[in-house]
Every structure is written in structure tokens, then in C-alpha cells.
Structure 1
Amino acid sequence: MRELALLIVLALPLPLAAQVYKYTDEKGVIHYTDKAPGKGAKPVTLPPLHTYKPLAPPESEGAAASGAGGNDASAPPADKGRAAGGGDFTVSIVSPVPDQTNRDASGNLAVSVKVSPEMPEGYTLAYYVDGSPSGEPTASASTTLSGIDRGQHSISVGLQDPDGNEVARSAPVTVYLRQPTIKRVTPAPPRPAPR
């Protein structure tokens, strides 16, 4: 109980030059106060307050780009690239939604993408299933991926400039493909003829 009272007193904002007093009441309970309540109060020296410095802000994208290159922690996120006007491209998968289960007997999956700002002329989108390209890059923001096996898959889409360099990539979306199963019913053996 004493520790709780001390924590409460320490948590209260006090003026920097305020003196803290400690006294014990007639029931033996210890109290802390900023005003001397009587003769029995003694000044107390409290430990210094804990202070923390704020974290340094992350490096700007320009500083990261001027670095040594490679996949270091200061590189911009994988889903952004530089737009022609100096801004960033963002690629996001609109459909399918994360953890969606798709049931298709032929292994097809429809994918829709949003590119912001609008995709310039000459840019294309490359669709990936489990990190491997699925078909040729296209200017279409929607396509149907085909030949996908049943099970769990990661879908992502990369935005490519006219030279074929990837300038942005979507965050991966996990989907599940379940192909319908046909329950085969074994016909009952013929009944013997009555006698």
C-alpha cells in the first residue's frame, strides 16, 4: 500500500522547486505531501525523474536512395516507387481480399489492382503467384490468373516502367484456392432375385 501511495505522489506533476514532505499519521500510515502538515513532517529527497530522448526520425527516401544501395533497412517500402512527377507510386491489390478462399475447378483467380497516382502510358503491371511471374506484363489493372494449384498462395503485383524496371510492388495478399471435390457414390451391389 505504501508503494502505491509513493507511486501516486511521484506521478503527480509538481513544480520544479517544490519540497516534498513525509509524515506518519496516528494510524501508522505514511503520507507524502508538498505542504508541511505539522512538526512531524520531514523533507524528503526524491530520486531524479526518468527522461527519455525521442527516437530519431527515419531517413528520407532521398537519403536512402543516395546510400550504397542494396536491400538495407533504410530503403523505402517495397510497395512504393517514384512517379514521373516526383511523387510516389502505390500499388495495392483490391481483389482478392487477404485470406480469401476461392473455389474454382479450373484453378482461375481474378485479380484487380489500384495504382496511385494513375499509371502513366507505357507502364505495365506484372502479376506474381508465390513470387513467380504469371503471364506477360500487361497495362490492364485486372486479369485472371490461371493454372493455380489448390492450396495457399501469395499474390503480388509489380508496376514496371517502359524499360521493364520495377518501380513499385504491392504488399502480398494470401489467398486459398480450393477446387471442388466430387464425392463418388459407389452403387450398391444388385440384390439377389427372390426365390
Structure 2
Amino acid sequence: RFEKLQETVQQLKSEIVQLKKDKLNQNDQSQEMKEHANQLDVENNELILRMKQMKDLFERHDQTIKYIQDKINKDKKIELEDLRAILKDNSLANNQNLLSTIDSDAKKSNQRIHDLHNDINMKTRRLKELDLLLNQEKERCKEVETKLKIVLELRERDTHLHIRQFGQIDGELRKARTDTERIHILQQQLELRQQQLDDVQKTLSTEQM
């Protein structure tokens, strides 16, 4: 029983060490994910800034078109080809293509951020599970170490008690005058041993329950 408890303690300590390693690995991965998420947030902010710049550019295009229309109304001598070139540069199709590209980039960036946050949440849950397992293993190890300590103390106490009892028995046997008295002394010691054995069996049964 003593050796089995020692093996259990060593096994629990090994499991605790492995759980600590797993927790450190998860912490490193979680930190990398957070740094990546921060980088994506920066990229997303840059994308938002680009969209704002595009909005300002469209507003300037609208102003340019309005200026051209006003110019046409006031000055009929403007070259038709020049007007067509200006209108083409500021056409709705070009603007739509630019908007479509920006919108696609924004969706991709948002999806990457969403996936990364989900991964971080999963890693965080795993860290909490590892913390719980680590604490449970520590408690189990403490319980086994406590039982082992009790067993050692009981063994030491029983050893000293047996030494004293053997000394007392030897003294009583020396004082006994007849074999009948010696047999009576030995019978008493046998009954005492049986009682101690019964007590140990009860204790073991209680621990197993």
C-alpha cells in the first residue's frame, strides 16, 4: 500500500508538470493570437481611413462634374473630347469598381478578425480548462501526500508501540512462575493483536468507501 501511494504521488506530480507545460504553450499561442488581432485592427483602421479618402475623392469628383456642367452652360466653346475624357475619368463605372474593391478588402479583413477572435476565445476556454485540471490534480496530489504522511506516522507509531510491548511481554514472561501464567500472558497479547488488526481493517474499509 505504501509503495502504491508513492507511485500515485509521482504520477500525479508528472501530470501536474505536463499540465503546466500545456498551459504555457496555450499562453504563448494566445499571446500570438492577440498580437495578430491587434495587427488586424490596425489594418482595419487603415482600410477605414482609405475608404474615407475615397469618399472625399468622390466628393471632389462630383464637384468637378458640377464644375464642368456649369462651364458647359456658360462657355459652349469647350472641346467635346476634353469633356468626354474628364467625364470618363469621373464615371460611375470607375467609382463602382473602386468601391467594389474597397468593400471586398473590408469584408476579408472583417472575416479574418472574426476568425481570429473566435480562435482566441477557444484558446481562452482551453486555458481555463487546463487551470481547472491543474488545480484538481494539485488537490489530488495533496490528498495522496496527506494519506501517505498518515501511513508513515502510523507505521512509526506502531513500530515504537511494538517495541515497548515486546519489552513488556518479555518482562512479564520473565516474572511468570508457571507455564499457565506464560500462556495467559501470550493469549492476552494475541487477543490484543487481533483487535489491532480488526481496527486496521476497519480503517482501510472506511478509506476505500
Quickly name the TM-score band, shorter chain normalised. under 0.3
Structure number with larger C-alpha Rg: 2
Question: More strand by proportion, 1 or 2?
Answer: 1
Larger RCO of the pair (alpha carbons < 8 Å, separation 6+): 2
Question: More helix by proportion, 1 or 2?
Answer: 2
